Structures are given as structure tokens and as C-alpha cells.
Structure 1
């Protein structure tokens, strides 16, 4: 099975798109993640959602809004609240994860490969077949 991150963007419109994907693909929902990373003394959130492959397909998309949301442990931003509300509407919750910021990697593709490895290792997405 091929698992790939699909980056939506970092703005409000992108969060609305991610929320719409959650609600319209409820049958395909696999897992949701709130990926937290540090850059200097600031924290950033990356909401992400993995969907099951379509019928006979072997492609598992993981939609993400990468590191565009400042994160505070105590007071969540409006964008995080929208993400959590969309998940709540289908009876799900995001799995929080702390990872290195993508700027630590030479290329964004390496960051995504690292995340896929973490998700597979923790059985949050299926293993490679």
C-alpha cells in the first residue's frame, strides 16, 4: 500500500477544506493526527487525516496542513477548534504527536517519509505491503 502526504496549505481556507474532507469521507476515515513541532521557542500544529484507500485502490492519502498554526497547549486557535469540531461531528478524535519541525530536514519529502515511518511503527496506519 502506498501512503502519501498531500499538503493542503496553512491558511483558514485549507482548514475548511480539511474539515470538509473529514465530513464527506466519513466512511473512508482511518485516523486523525495533531502533529506538534517546535521551532526555536515556538510550537506549531499540523492537523492531518488519513483515509482508507478507495475500493480496489492501494493508495492511502494523508491530508495535512503543515505547521501553519501557532500552537498553545492551553488555548487552542480557532483553526484547531474547527479541526476538532469536524472530528467530533463524526465521533472521532485526533491523536496528538510531537515530532521535529520540518525545517530540520533537508527536504520536505524526507520529513514526510519520517512521519510515515512513525505512523507505521505505532500501527496508526497499515504497514507497507
Structure 2
């Protein structure tokens, strides 16, 4: 099974697009994720939704808005929009601390690392 991250952007429009993808594919949602990472003593959130494959397709997409939401004292609007959407869909996000993507030379290596973390924790299906 091919497991691939599909990166949306970091802005408001991208988060709302991810929320709408979740609403339209509510029956396909495998898990929703809230990744936290640190860079230079600042914390950032990434939000993601993993969808089950369609029919007999061998493709497991994970849509992500990567590290675009800085942690602050007040809950950021983009994060609250994502959480509200998940509450509406009755889905609890899985929160995982990960390394910041700047730790890796290439974003593909970062996504391979995240896929490894998710597989080790049995949060996405193993390769077949």
C-alpha cells in the first residue's frame, strides 16, 4: 500500500480546505493527527487527516498542513477551526510530538520519518 503525505499550505485557506476535505470524506477518515514540533524553543502544530483507500485502490493519502500554526497562549484560530471540525465529525485527534521538519535535509525524509512513527504506533496500516 502506498502511503503518501499530500501537503496543503500553512495559511487559513489551506486549513479550511483540510477541514472541508474531512467533512466530505467523513466515512473515509482513518485518523486525524495533531503533530507538535519545536524549533528554536518555539512550538509549532501540524494538522493532518489520514483517509482510507477507495475501493481496491492501493493508495492511503494523508493530507497535512505542515508546521504553519505557532503555539501561543490563546488557541490559534486555525487550530480551533480544525478541532471544531473534528468535534462535529466526532473524531478525537491523535497528538504526537515529532521532530521539526527543518531537522531533515529534505521534506520527503521528514514525511518518511512521520510514516515510520505512525507505523510503529500502529496508527496507519503496515506496508503490504
TM-score range, shorter chain: over 0.9
Shift of 1:75: 2.9
- CA distance in structure 2 between the aligned counterparts of 1:45 and 1:65, rounded to whole angstroms: 9
Give the TM-score, by structure 1 length: 0.97
How big is the shift at 1:41? 1.1
- Counterpart mapping for 1:11-26 below 5 A: 11-26=11-26
2:127 is aligned to: 128
Q: Deviations over 1:35-82 (max 9, x none)?
A: 00000111110000000000110100000000011013x532010000
How far apart are the structure 2 equivalents of 1:7 and 1:25? Answer: 17
Gaps of 5+ in 2: none
Aligned-partner SS, 2:124 = coil
**What secondary structure sits across from 1:84 in the alignment?**
helix
Deviant stretches of 4+, over 4 Å = none
Aligned-partner Cα distance in 2 for 1:96–1:58? 26
TM-score (norm 2): 0.98
Helix, strand or coil: the match of 2:50? strand
Q: Which residue of 1 aligns with 2:77?
A: 78
Q: Does 1:40 find its partner at 2:59?
A: no
1:1-129 matched pairs, under 5 angstroms: 1-72=1-72, 75-129=74-128
- Aligned residue pairs total 128
